[in-house]
Amino acid sequence: MESYRRVPAWAAALVGLVAGAVALGVSWLVAGLVKASAFPVLVVGDSAVDLSPSWLKEWAIRTFGEADKIVLLSGVSVVLAALAAGIGILASRDLRYGHAGLAVLGAIGVAAALTRPGAGLADTLPVLAGVAAGMVALSRLTRRALASGSDSPRPPTGGAPERRPAAGAEEPDHVLRPSVMRAGEDLRSFDRRGLLTGLLGGVAVAGVAGAAGRLLSGGAEVDAARVGLALPTPAAPAGPVPAGSDLKIKGLSPFFTPNRDFYRVDTALIVPQVDPGDWTLRIHGMVDRPIELTFADLVKRPLVEADVTLCCVSNEVGGPYVGNARWLGARLSDVLREAGVRKDADMLLSVSADGWTCGTPLDVVMDGRDSLLAIAMNGEALPVDHGFPARQVVPGLYGYVSATKWVTEIKVTRFDRDQAYWTPRGWAAKGPIKTQSRIDLPKSGASLRPGRTVIAGVAWAQHKGVDAVEVRVDRGEWRQARLAEAPTADTWRQWVLDDWDAVPGTHTIQVRATDATGYTQTSEVTAVAPDGATGWHTVEVTVA
């Protein structure tokens, strides 16, 4: 047994941290060669997301918003750092303990990798390479933290008399008394210089390997392909937006949501980097003629422009997870007709490049609405965060049952045969968007001056259209708001009440919308699960 009792705990922890960094750097390098999503931190994080109960995911979205993935990855990194430090301390006592700790982490990583959708043995290579590199780094760093064995005193043996320092002389710190030494131990003194040079070398290896892995993951190439993409001229361009569609009130959500501000809610801890030159879309299942489209095939098809508002089912009443954009893409219904959809099919099970699945009602896609395989958003190629090179856009359905990003596969099937990602987790199989309205101005908690005050916001009822919006203050009478124009029933609609005479005090403002079917929002408050929140958006303001 190798015993390194002269390595302080802080130094051993640093050794573990740097060995862990080397392991992650090498695993990232190998993931860049094999598959970016097989990077162990992402694999474990994805597994944590899949195993988390729905209530925890809802809490994370409510609490952290679009930063929920950053929070999760940060948490995984902190846990890994703590474990690495502990492994370093174990290794300072016995190197075999440290190696065993790395092996346990490796086993967890391998198990997580093999349980990911579409995983194969190659997905375990980043984990295995990282563990092997970590073991080598741990061994070398631990030994470098100690002075050479030839420079260290050997314990007395046989009957040789024990040599003690002269009276008044200090005993060297590295000398261990015979009474506490065990036969066969190799006890060496702590070497700060050796530790420092070893740590610097380990950090360099981790940094170079990680940087190479990042380059090999293909992000730069995908960004270049996206920027260089020349968008085709649509065969069916969208009409001009009516002049009265945007009231241009400061603080009111614009008619078109800028791409940089468009909400993002998905399960991808790392945004899939899909090269359009390698992308294909496979359509199969209950069809007469399976189809496989390349990106070149897709952009050669007659393309359609459509203004469509998307909304996430996790959006609380008055929440931010809704946005409107002009999309460009091929009609999904045309592609499905070419494949020959069978009469008894009722569901499309689409698959994202990262393995996420989505179940879309087939009748909705085929009823004539602008359901698209979109390649562009607001006049530019899809941002990578929003599905480049291609995604689904289906008006009238919450995103979890319609808006698959980085789509690579569509299986025509039935709801009684297949389930998508969210359905077994307690969410409804079909998710039509509920009629909703939101107050953008004034903000909840705002302090206002007395006098005439603007109340404004947006309302949506995709594929039905908004016919009226009403506002009331302090639970008084409902008043009709003025509506902006809307080019189609698939977009949200701005509204404004610009003659509220605000008097000093605390006031409660509420809003409700009525859609083209005559349905008016209910006051009943329900949670987002299983099929979307209900209730009236309410804000409280102070006038002073």
Percent of residues, the chain, with pLDDT higher than 90: 68
Segment 62-84 mean pLDDT:
80
**455 closest CA partner among 543, 325, 323:** 543
Q: 306-329 pLDDT, tens per residue?
A: 999 999 999 999 999 999 999 999
pLDDT-wise least confident of 162-176, 335-349, 422-436: 162-176
Which residues are CB-neighbours of 218 under 8 A, at least 6 positions away? 32, 36, 273, 275
Tell me: pLDDT of 177 over 80.
Answer: no
State residue 185's pLDDT score: 46
Other Cβ atoms closer than 10 A to 291: 16
Q: Which residue has the higher pLDDT, 8 or 363?
A: 363
pLDDT at 405: 97
DSSP 330: E
More confident: 55 or 523:
523
Task: Read off the pLDDT band of 32 (50, 70, 90).
Answer: confident
Residue 444: which of 360, 507, 531, 504 has the closest Cα?
A: 507
Of 57-71, 238-252, 326-340, 497-511, where does mean pLDDT reach its minimum?
A: 57-71
Quick check: 341 pLDDT over 80? Answer: yes
DSSP 52-116: S-HHHHHHHHHHHGGGHHHHHHHHHHHHHHHHHHHHHHHHHH-HHHHHHHHHHHHHHHHHHHHTS
What are 91-125's pLDDT values in tens digits?
A: 988 999 999 999 999 999 899 888 877 778 898 99
Sign of CA dihedral 316, 320, 324, 330: negative
Confidence (pLDDT) at 7 = 79
pLDDT given for residue 448 in this prediction: 96
Query: Mean pLDDT across the stretch 283-304?
Result: 97
* 480-493 pLDDT per residue, tens: 999 999 999 999 99
Which pLDDT does position 218 carry in this prediction?
Answer: 65
How far apart (Å, rounded) are the C-alpha atoms in residues 386 and 340? 29
Write down the pTM of the prediction: 0.75
Pairing of strands 493-502, 407-413: unpaired
Kind of pairing between the strands at 407-413 and 280-285: parallel
Check pLDDT > 80 for residue 227. yes
CA distances from 235 to 14, 306, 324, 338 (A): 62, 12, 22, 18
Q: What number is the average pLDDT over the span 418-447?
A: 96
**Structure confidence at residue 168 as a pLDDT band (50, 70, 90):** very low
* pLDDT confidence of residue 159: 44
Give the span between the Cα atoms of 483 and 466, in whole angstroms: 9
Whole-number mean pLDDT of the chain? 88
CA dist., res. 479 & res. 470, Å (int): 5
